[in-house]
Structure 1
Amino acid sequence: MMRGASADAYAATAGSLTGSGDAGAVGRDLFGAADLLRSEPSLRRVATDASIPAEAKAGLLREVLAGKVSEAALTVVTTAVGQRWTSGRDLADALERLGVVSVARSAGGDAGRLEDELFAFGQVLQDNPPLRDAISDPARSRDDKARLLDTLLDDKVLPATIALVQQSLSGSYRTVSVALADYQKVAADVRGESVATVRVARPLADNDRTRLTDALTRAYGRQIHLNVVVDPDVIGGMRVEIGDDVIDGTVSSRLDDARRRLAG
């Protein structure tokens, strides 16, 4: 989460993401710009140096990126370098986040499906240690990992999902799973939603899922997108996580409380 000057800079830069052009392509261009700034420390230092006039920094980035990204993406980048950032890393992180916003917008009416696919692939990684190890192996190139994911996902998911899964390999997050979880939250926010992760002992029936969604939507004052995780450790009841809030109504939690009271 960006704070201080970087939060203001992000808000100002986000205003330049107008939605003109191919949103998916703009998003991928912004990913490329973020990757470039991370890989070129000298360029990043110049781009975030508050003592250099904004026009000079914008001119430099235009020269570096000319012919490599769309005009819409270049507008976002040049707006970004004209802002004051708390740290050099924040500039690249902001461009990546705005790339996620743009890719999420490109899903259009399939935005809900995009959220589900990002969550589902995150679960696949969690349940498949060999795959998780393969895409976190430092000995394998990013291109090699990308080809592996293309083989797994091609024609099975939305183009927006593939774009975000590919970007999760950039190394900007601690793990691919953490990146995917954050991307899903950004995609949900684009739709004016919050994400709730619900842990249950067995799959929720459709009517139970609807009732829970409606109840959480009323409680939080905005639409809720459910991630349902079947977890044998739950035993019964459910555990709901929304941001920093945890609503634990599981049997195991109640048993733990009882044990603590007896021990006390």
Structure 2
Amino acid sequence: MIGASREALAAGRENLESLTDNTSVDAVKLAEELASVTTLLDREVSLRRLLTDPSRSGEDKARLIASLLGGQVSGETVDLVSGLVRSRWSGSRDLVDGVEELSAYAEVIAADKATKLDNVEDELFRFGRIVSGSHELRGALTEPKATASAKAELVKKLLGARAEAATVRLVTTLVAHPRGRSLEQGLDAYSKLAAARRDRMVAEVTTAVPLSDSQKERLTAALTRLYGRPVHLNIDIDPEVLGGVQVKIGDEVIDGTVSSRLEGARQALEG
């Protein structure tokens, strides 16, 4: 998102955080209701155009939302969506994307308040690695002709009681309603939302063998000092790196693996 849409989404996220600071607010219910609103706006093209029409006042659009959603969802959800439509958006699709992101962020907040966000982050990362390693599984989860219910059932079989409920709900929403996103893009977006909740960075770490707890602690501390922000490690084991560690944070890669050094030596010899 750019310009007005980015500002509108930032304001919506602040509203959601303020709202969920109240312990009586059910963040999981908010996530579910915002997901339903996403489906509605995604389906009703004329409605989302009305709600992002710059010639209409914000209050007029908020009243329209209240009349449509009142009695169908909680007052908190109505308030959140009303706040979104009062803002200016660069495009009507951005509004749908914004509601969808707030739905996922509500799940993240709920997991954080239940002290389960670390588990959710790790499970999403591992699920992504499993899918990337199985062409057949990825095909089943992204098959356009498969129904949303069939994909949801497959996710339930894959994760079920082996993962946090928030992880299952997030992955189910992603595969059942991808809205043009790839599976990898969606999982990456969830990871960034979880990191944003903690105001920390995510480091993708690749090693040949599992790291010990003390090694993880030292690496986390070193990266935190280097970047000046808390860092969460997502660790992938890949025997092909032979030894050493590769760390990727955003677009930056710190490669200290043996395979990388051997490749560098090979190129030097060929040069």
- Tell me, yes or no, whether TM beats 0.5: yes
Paired with 2:187 and 2:10, the residues of 1 have a C-alpha distance of 22
Partner of 2:12: 13
One-letter code aligned to 2:225: R
Paired with 2:219 and 2:128, the residues of 1 have a C-alpha distance of 23
Counterpart of 1:200 (choices 207, 218, 237) is 207
> Contact conserved, 1:125 with 1:177, CA < 8 A, in 2?
no
Q: Does 1:115 align with 2:114?
A: no
Counterpart of 2:216 (choices 178, 200, 209) is 209
Paired with 2:263 and 2:236, the residues of 1 have a C-alpha distance of 21
Paired with 1:231 and 1:60, the residues of 2 have a C-alpha distance of 53
Pairwise CA distance, 1:117: 1.3
The equivalences for 1:1-264 within 5 A come to 2-17=1-16, 18-19=19-20, 20=22, 21-107=25-111, 108=113, 109-169=115-175, 170-264=177-271
> Contact conserved, 1:27 with 1:98, CA < 8 A, in 2?
yes
Q: Kindly tell me the number of residue pairs found equivalent between the two proteins.
A: 263
Pairwise CA distance, 1:76: 1.0
Pairwise CA distance, 1:87: 1.5
Pairwise CA distance, 1:173: 4.9
Pairwise CA distance, 1:94: 1.4
SS of the equivalent of 2:161 reads coil
Pairwise CA distance, 1:199: 0.9
Q: Deviations over 1:73-95 (max 9, x none)?
A: 11111111111111212111111
Q: 4+ residue runs of structure 1 moved beyond 6 angstroms?
A: none
Pairwise CA distance, 1:259: 3.0
Paired with 1:71 and 1:166, the residues of 2 have a C-alpha distance of 25
Q: Deviations over 1:171-191 (max 9, x none)?
A: 135322321121022112102
- Give unmatched runs, 5+ long, in structure 1: none
- Give unmatched runs, 5+ long, in structure 2: none
TM-score by structure 2 length? 0.91
Q: Deviations over 1:37-75 (max 9, x none)?
A: 122211111111111111221122222222332211111
One-letter code aligned to 1:15: E
Paired with 2:118 and 2:180, the residues of 1 have a C-alpha distance of 23
SS of the equivalent of 2:231 reads strand
